[in-house]
Amino acid sequence: MTKDELHFIDHVATLLVPWGMPQTTGRVYGFLLLQTEPMSLDHIVEELELSKSTASVSARQLVESRLAKRHAVRSSKRILFSATDKYDELYAAHCVLLGEIGALMKNAADDVATGAASKRLKDMSRFLIQIRKTIEGVMQR
């Protein structure tokens, strides 16, 4: 890999840490973003100098977060990974989650929380549901 590629990969990882993503998972994501074709775990291990188990955990986390896609290779045990190009699906999933968390907080505000905690949940719920509607508006355009 070139110095610029490595720099991009590390930069992506650093920016994703505040979203709760482990640095290594972010590096695997950054690597996948630069690839034009799905990559095997062995390839990821080699390029990023990771252990196979670390790479495997990272790839699984990316698939769970819908940032990467898993490809089974026909008549082979090999599995390939690629960065998702359905970034709007990413945000669609984000919107569904915002709505679910918003609804959960709204219900909990009356049922399980009291005082300041109840008010905080109601305020957060209102805010998250508004954000959700707005993002959905962007996606429909």
Question: Can you give the binding site for a copy of itself, defined by CB under 8 A?
Answer: 2, 4-5, 8, 11-12, 15-21, 25, 33-36, 61, 64-66, 83, 85, 87-88, 91, 93, 97, 100-101, 104-105, 108, 111-117, 120-121, 123-124, 127-128, 130-131, 134-135, 137-138
Report residue 6 as tokens.
Answer: 């490595």
| Shortest CB 75 distance to a copy of itself, Å | 25
Nearer to a copy of itself, 46 or 100 (CB): 100
As a whole number of angstroms, the distance between CA 124 and CA 118 comes to: 10
Q: 79: alpha, beta or left, given left = phi > 0 and alpha = psi -120 to 50? A: beta
The distance of closest approach from Cβ of residue 53 to a copy of itself in the complex, given in angstroms and rounded to an integer, is 17
DSSP 107-121: HHHHHT--HHHHHHH
Work out whether strand 68-72 and strand 79-83 pair parallel, antiparallel, or are unpaired: antiparallel
Considering the complex, what minimum distance in angstroms separates the CB of residue 36 from a copy of itself?
5
